[in-house]
């Protein structure tokens, strides 16, 4: 396979914020002492008067953003996912989601590919937490190109949103012609035998898995579910129904994230054999991102193996 | 124990911090070096601990609330004999007991898991309350960062400790004046820290956090205080002991390259 250029979604986030600074004068950005890591420093460099560092105080950051939004500003707030969503969950619930304020929580360093910092810093439950909140839109971009467009779409969209970003540089799966549509899945590879639903950096891994399956004459559909909420239920049900088997793939706990969202949609609309690939009710730990992806089974080989087991269930019916 | 021995251990800890972070290729040297003397004085002099019995019920406890300084804690624990010194080479590797941030379920000598800032003092309050309920006389030490003092939970815990008169809580603030994004006073000033802690009902001391005599004396004085928790605000230098790291926010969370490590180790010889 050709070598694809790797860029972290957080890099695209910072660049896009800085680009938007010139045109969107309502945009304000808040960070909690991690602006070099979340890349909001890029925005601070071009619009220092609209950048506010709150210090190591994530709960206050969410509250301040709620106030800014209540007065017509569009705040993007950033920290690591574990602190933005974890520490400030109830502030997000009661000061942002419940009053439906126009706050965008753009959290970086989600998932186990945070790497060496270890389990305390690896958020594997943020999709779940955010997805459960009424009014909250949840977006997990698959690459830098999609991130850029998602940031722009969310800046234009009125209402609370969660954007999940990564630390690790990952392959680009979209090209410059790509058009992101909030709430609509993207069919990346059509197939007949199984539908693979993936989000975030796992979309690229899912495409590799489909390639492995193709070598065994198994044809897999690969669908990028960048918007976890609201879920594109019709598209999910249609592809799963056509293939008669489905699997979800995410760098997140198998509880409450993409896998759960797909399972809920399928259970209610079109029951087909299904499996979830994700982090299996365990905390993360220190290690290099690659070593962790292997240790937690987030590899093309594991996805392909799990997919074949689901197809076998379909064929046994 | 004589302070000479403590000083030797502090220096050896600094050398270990440099070599382990270099070997791991990531980690937090700046805040580890600033807290090294405080940790050395605690582990090699002040604390009632037994490395052969890390779960001893009557031991003094220590919570590294600024958990990113794990390399300093690990160096102290290894040199004290809680686990083999060679294991320091495994810092941050897959499967290692030496996680990026301290994990009490994995490593002997770690009294509380940490890594998310602002949470350590609350846990210390709980440990001190338990000690009171069980008629035990152990002390609970906590080490916080000065940036960490921006977290609201720190002040909820400060209020609690004073309210419940937890005189067996002894907290340190590693006052190195830096956080990740720069000077604490530029990012989000928590100052004046002495007055804040005083107004929350704490016994406050301000010392040079690299002077072992002052650290030892402050701990002794804190133990004399009755009915009030104690905080020791220790003026320190982030990156202390390595010339090119001192007072540089950029060395908060980056590992030295091999050549830089060699220079650092020669300065710490
Ligand atoms: C709740 C939380 N928010 C953010 C972080 C990320 N972080 C790690 S260290 C650090 C700066 C700490 O500064 P300070 O407390 O002054 O520590 P020191 O200077 O002693 O290293 C930050 C923001 C964290 N670990 N926990
Ligand atoms: Mg500091």
Assess whether A164 and A195 both reside in one domain: no
| Distance from the alpha carbon of residue B31 to the mean position of ligand 2, in angstroms | 7
What confidence tier does B238 reach under pLDDT thresholds 50, 70, 90? very high
In this predicted model, what pLDDT tens digit does every residue of A60-75 receive, in sequence order?
A: 999 999 999 999 999 9
Assess whether A167 and A192 both reside in one domain: no
Mean of the per-residue pLDDT values for chain A?
Answer: 97
Catalytic residues of A: 58
Assess whether A111 and A154 both reside in one domain: yes
Q: What average pLDDT score do residues A184-206 get?
A: 98
Q: Does A151 map to a domain?
A: yes
Q: Does A176 map to a domain?
A: no
A contacts of B94 (beta carbons < 8 Å):
285-288, 291-292, 295
Q: Does A68 map to a domain?
A: yes
Q: Does A268 map to a domain?
A: yes
> What is the token pair recorded at B140?
């609970």
Give the integer Cα–Cα distance in Å for B189 and B177: 10
C-beta separation of B66 from B121 below 8 A? no
Assess whether A268 and A230 both reside in one domain: yes
Is the CB of residue B173 below 6 angstroms from any atom belonging to ligand 1?
no
CATH code at A232?
3.40.50.920
Assess whether A212 and A72 both reside in one domain: no
ipTM confidence score: 0.96
- pTM greater than 0.80: yes
The two counts, helices (H) then strands (E), for chain B are 9, 7
Assess whether A156 and A216 both reside in one domain: no
Mean of the per-residue pLDDT values for chain B?
Answer: 98
pLDDT at A5 over 90: no
pLDDT of residue A1: 45
Asked if A117 and B101 come within 8 Å (Cβ–Cβ), the reply is: yes
Assess whether A143 and A284 both reside in one domain: no
Q: What average pLDDT score do residues B57-86 get?
A: 98
Q: Does A33 map to a domain?
A: yes
pLDDT of residue A3: 57
Query: B183-187: which pairs have CB atoms within 8 A and are 24 or more residues apart?
Result: B183/B249, B184/A55, B184/B146, B184/B147, B184/B150, B187/A33, B187/A53, B187/A55, B187/B147
CATH code at A84?
3.40.50.970
pLDDT at B108 over 70: yes
Residue span of the structural domain in which A37 resides: 6-171
Assess whether A193 and A115 both reside in one domain: no
| Distance from the alpha carbon of residue B144 to the mean position of ligand 2, in angstroms | 9
Q: Does A276 map to a domain?
A: yes
Of B93, B94, B148, the CB nearest to A56: B148
Looking at domain B3-267, its CATH superfamily turns out to be: Thiamin diphosphate (ThDP)-binding fold, Pyr/PP domains (3.40.50.970)
Q: Does A230 map to a domain?
A: yes
Q: What average pLDDT score do residues A112-121 get?
A: 98
Q: Which residue has the tokens 């070997």?
A: B23
Assess whether A166 and A222 both reside in one domain: no
Q: Does A74 map to a domain?
A: yes
| Distance from the alpha carbon of residue A187 to the mean position of ligand 1, in angstroms | 41
Q: What average pLDDT score do residues B242-260 get?
A: 98
Is the CB of residue B190 below 6 angstroms from any atom belonging to ligand 1?
no
Asked if B95 and A285 come within 8 Å (Cβ–Cβ), the reply is: yes
Assess whether A118 and A202 both reside in one domain: no
Q: What average pLDDT score do residues B124-138 get?
A: 98
pLDDT at A2 over 80: no
Which atom of ligand 1 lies at the shortest distance from residue B35's CA? 20
List, in order, residues 6 or more apart from B183 with CB less than 8 Å away.
B177, B249
Helix ranges, chain A (H): 9-23, 35-38, 41-46, 58-70, 81, 89-91, 126-131, 144-156, 202-215, 233-243, 258-269, 289-295, 300-316
Assess whether A241 and A146 both reside in one domain: no
- List for chain B the helix, strand, coil content (%; round to 5): 45, 10, 40
Check whether the bond before A230 is cis (ω within 30° of 0). yes
Number of domains comprising chain A: 2
Is the CB of residue B241 below 6 angstroms from any atom belonging to ligand 1?
no
Give the integer Cα–Cα distance in Å for A111 and A253: 9
In this predicted model, what pLDDT tens digit does every residue of A117-159 receive, in sequence order?
A: 999 999 999 999 999 999 999 999 999 999 999 999 999 999 9
Domain boundary among A145, A171, A197: A171
pLDDT at A58 over 60: yes
Q: What average pLDDT score do residues B147-170 get?
A: 98
Q: What average pLDDT score do residues B89-118 get?
A: 98
Is the CB of residue B147 below 6 angstroms from any atom belonging to ligand 1?
yes
pLDDT of residue A261: 98
> What is the token pair recorded at B62?
């220590």
pLDDT of residue A182: 98
B contacts of A115 (beta carbons < 8 Å):
26
pLDDT of residue A4: 65
């Amino acid at each position: 396979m050709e070598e694809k250029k790797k860029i972290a979604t957080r890099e695209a986030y910072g660049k896009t914020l800085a680009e938007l600074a010139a045109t969107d004068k309502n945009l304000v950005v808040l960070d909690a002492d991690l602006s070099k890591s979340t890349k909001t420093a890029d925005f601070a460099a071009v619009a220092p008067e609209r950048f506010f560092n709150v210090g190591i105080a994530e709960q206050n950051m969410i509250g301040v953003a709620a106030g800014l939004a209540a007065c017509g500003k569009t705040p993007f707030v950033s920290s690591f996912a574990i602190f933005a969503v974890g520490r400030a969950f109830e502030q997000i619930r009661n000061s942002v989601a419940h009053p439906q304020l126009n706050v965008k929580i753009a959290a970086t360093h989600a998932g186990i590919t945070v790497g060496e910092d270890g389990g305390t810093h690896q958020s594997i439950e943020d999709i779940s937490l955010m997805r459960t909140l009424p009014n909250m839109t949840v977006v997990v971009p698959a690459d830098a190109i999609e991130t850029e467009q998602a940031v722009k779409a969310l800046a234009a969209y009125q209402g609370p949103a969660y954007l999940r970003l990564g630390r690790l540089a990952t392959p680009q799966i979209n090209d410059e012609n790509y058009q992101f549509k909030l709430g609509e899945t993207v069919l990346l590879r059509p197939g007949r035998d199984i539908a693979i639903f993936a989000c975030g950096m796992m979309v690229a891994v899912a495409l590799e898995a489909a390639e492995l399956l193709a070598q065994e004459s198994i044809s897999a559909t690969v669908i990028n579910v960048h918007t976890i909420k609201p879920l594109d239920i019709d598209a999910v049900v249609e592809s799963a129904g056509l293939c008669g088997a489905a699997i979800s793939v995410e760098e997140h706990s198998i509880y409450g994230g993409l896998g759960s969202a797909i399972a809920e949609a399928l259970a209610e609309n079109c029951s087909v054999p299904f499996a979830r690939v994700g982090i299996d009710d365990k905390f993360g730990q220190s290690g290099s991102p690659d070593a962790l992806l292997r240790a937690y089974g987030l590899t093309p080989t594991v996805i392909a193996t799990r997919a074949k087991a689901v197809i076998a269930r379909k064929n046994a019916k | 124990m004589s302070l000479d021995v403590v000083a030797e251990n502090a220096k050896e800890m600094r050398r270990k911090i440099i070599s382990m972070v270099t070997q791991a290729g990531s980690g937090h040297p700046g805040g580890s070096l600033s807290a090294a003397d405080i940790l050395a004085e605690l582990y090699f002099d002040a604390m009632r601990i037994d490395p052969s019995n890390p779960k001893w019920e009557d031991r003094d406890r220590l919570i590294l609330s600024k958990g990113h300084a794990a390399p300093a804690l690990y160096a102290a624990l290894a040199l004290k004999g809680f686990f083999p010194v060679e294991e320091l080479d495994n810092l941050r590797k897959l499967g290692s007991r030496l996680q990026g941030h301290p994990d009490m379920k994995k490593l002997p000598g770690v009294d509380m898991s940490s890594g998310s800032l602002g949470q350590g003092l609350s846990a210390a309050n709980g440990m001190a309350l338990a000690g009171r309920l069980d008629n035990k006389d152990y002390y609970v030490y906590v080490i916080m960062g000065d940036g960490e003092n921006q977290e609201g939970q720190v002040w909820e815990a400060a209020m609690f400790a004073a309210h419940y008169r937890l005189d067996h809580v002894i907290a340190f603030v590693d006052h190195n004046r830096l956080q990740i994004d720069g000077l604490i006073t530029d990012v989000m000033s928590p100052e004046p820290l002495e007055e804040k802690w005083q107004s929350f009902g704490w016994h406050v001391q301000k010392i040079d956090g690299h002077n072992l005599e002052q650290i030892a004396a402050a701990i002794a004085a804190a133990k004399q205080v009755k009915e009030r928790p104690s905080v020791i605000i220790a003026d320190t230098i982030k990156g202390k002991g390595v010339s090119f790291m001192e007072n540089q926010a950029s060395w908060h969370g980056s590992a030295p390259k091999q050549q830089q490590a060699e220079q650092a180790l020669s300065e710490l010889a």
